[in-house]
Amino acid sequence: MAGARHEFRMTRLAWLLCAAASVAGCDAAKSVLSPPGGLLALGTWGGDNTGVIATDSLTHVHVGCTYGDMPGRLALDSTGRFDVAGSFLLRAYPVAVGPSLPARFAGRVVGSTITLTVTVNDTVEKKSVVLGPVTAVFGQEPRLGPCPICRVPGRRATLPRSPQSRRP
């Protein structure tokens, strides 16, 4: 009987250790994607009315029918936050109109989710325009509704659109 009780305790302990290791492994997997103090993971991040495309040379952001760029890869601080200067085009669809304007991109990456706000210094209208906060998830397709413009500047091919956003 004492042996069975000892075996039960050891089995229970083994289960608890496995569960703890699994939870720790999940947290570690999240931090590997875009570790705090590291760089934003390369690839496409998508959400409702937003898209982020991270390449080695720039980070491209869409919010609705607007878009902008941050030079280089997006660096994250030790808490996953960022606040960087870039440029933004407020009138981008159906035809891009106007100059690219100075902008600040600020937000945070937690696991596979990026949340960001864009503050555009509209020097034409002489006002600040705040877009967001918006949220995107790594590996998901941007869902931009009627604005099928999400692509990396300089490339002709656009990203695939969801069946709901395709026009007949």
Q: What is the pLDDT of residues 79-119, one digit of tens each?
A: 999 999 999 999 877 777 888 999 999 999 999 999 999 99
Which sequence spans correspond to the domains of the chain? 1-33, 43-150
What is the mean pLDDT of the segment spanning 33-45?
Answer: 87
Q: Write down the pLDDT at residue 88.
A: 94
Q: What are phi and psi of 25, to 5 degrees?
A: -65, -40
Torsion of CA 69, 75, 79, 81, to 10 degrees: -20
Higher local confidence (pLDDT), 136 or 159: 136
Range 51-80 average pLDDT: 93
What is the rounded distance in angstroms from the CA atom of residue 152 to the CA atom of residue 158? Answer: 8
Contact 115, 135 (CB under 8 A): yes
CA distance 12 to 129: 57
Contacts of 34 (CB under 8 A, 6+ apart): 40, 41, 76, 80, 109, 112, 114, 138
Give the tens place of pLDDT for each residue, 60-71. Answer: 999 988 999 999
Question: Is 57:72 a contact under the CB 8 Å cutoff?
Answer: yes
